[in-house]
A = this chain, B = another copy of it.
Amino acid sequence: MKNIIIASTSTIHGSGYLEYILDELTLLYKDTEEILFVPYARPSGITHDAYTEIATKAFIKINKRIVGLHTFKNPIEAVQNAQGIFVGGGNTFVLTNMLYKNNLINVLSQVVNKGTPYLGTSAGSNICGLTIRTTNDMPIVYPPSFDALKLVSFNINPHYLDPDSKSKHMGETRETRIKEFHKFNTQPVVGLREGSWLQVKNNTITLKGNLSARIFEVNKTPYEVETGTKLNDLK
């Protein structure tokens, strides 16, 4: 019964917040009037209120109300009662930490597995994987665990970036980092480029958007999959 969109980014270059994906969101939330927004990732450290305002303005365009999870006294009940959920991007460590502190990891996973429509962007997509160990974010807080919602059987690397052959910078490329990940972890990693998303409907996982994605499996050469490819068997 899963009904999930795992998006690389909320915003593509030269476009407004969520603008590139609004048609898809109309379908995802077709039976949802009010969406529970999880503002915990706080991009640039903005407040929960300010972040909820950004989401509200985007969803007005498709006639959806937004309500911030931080406004509920009992966030577990809020998640249980939600018609639809959107977890926005920002810092994955901050997001994960808040989910653990509020005992929301299990309940979020349960309701989404039972069919509550879920949109994640960036950090909100990272947490859909088995762990957050392939986030690009800075570890500015220390969460109780790196384990995530496990809505899919692999890890997500959002904002996937190809190596820049002209760069003189000696820091690791994204590909190098994910290869290091596979020295210590066995699950596949989906490198989602900005503008790409995974649509999860029941047990069918489809790459959407205009771009290909890069798949990293342990002890295999990384490879590209074209948009439209099913990733049901990736685990």
Measured CB to CB, the residues of A under 8 A from B are: 9, 11-14, 42-45, 90-91, 93-94, 132-142, 145-146, 159, 161, 168-172, 176-185, 194
Quote the shortest CB–CB distance from A29 to chain B (angstroms).
23
A13 with B168, Cβ < 8 A, contacts A138-B133, A139-B139 known = yes
Chain B's nearest CB lies how many Å from the CB of A93?
A: 8
Q: Can you report 17 residue pairs joining A to B where beta carbons are below 8 Å apart? A: A9-B170, A13-B168, A42-B183, A43-B180, A44-B179, A45-B179, A45-B183, A90-B180, A94-B180, A133-B138, A133-B142, A135-B138, A138-B177, A140-B177, A159-B169, A159-B171, A169-B194
Q: Which of A139, A183, A184 has the most CB of B within 10 A?
A: A139
Tell me which of B43, B91, B139, B171 contacts A146 (CB under 8 A): B139
- Shortest Cβ distance from residue A105 to the other chain B in the assembled complex, whole angstroms: 15
Question: CB distance A91 to B170 under 8 Å?
Answer: no
Given the interface pairs A159-B171, A169-B161, A176-B44, the reply to whether A140 lies near B194 with Cβ below 8 Å is: no
Q: Which residue of B lies closest to A161 (CB)?
A: B169
Are A134 and B145 within 8 A (Cβ)? Answer: no
Dominant SS among interface residues on chain A: loop
Minimum distance in angstroms from A126 CB to a CB of chain B:
11
- Note all chain B residues with C-beta closer than 8 A to A13: 168-170
Chain B proximity of A125: nearest CB distance (Å): 13
B-chain residues with CB within 8 Å of residue A184 when the two chains form the complex: 45, 94, 140-141
CA distance A194 to B169 in the complex (A): 8
Q: Is the CB of A138 within 8 A of B94?
A: no
User: Is A135 within 8 A of B140, CB to CB?
Assistant: no
**Bound CA–CA A194/B197 (angstroms):** 35
Which residue in B45, B161, B183 is a CB contact (below 8 Å) of A180? B45
Kindly state the separation between the CA atoms of A12 and B169 in the bound complex, as whole angstroms.
Answer: 8
- The residue on B at minimum CB distance from A158 is B171
Residue on B nearest A145 in the bound complex, by CB: B142
Q: Is the CB of A170 within 8 A of B139?
A: no
C-alpha gap A4/B231 in the complex (Å) = 50
Distance (whole angstroms) from the CB of A154 to the closest CB of chain B:
15
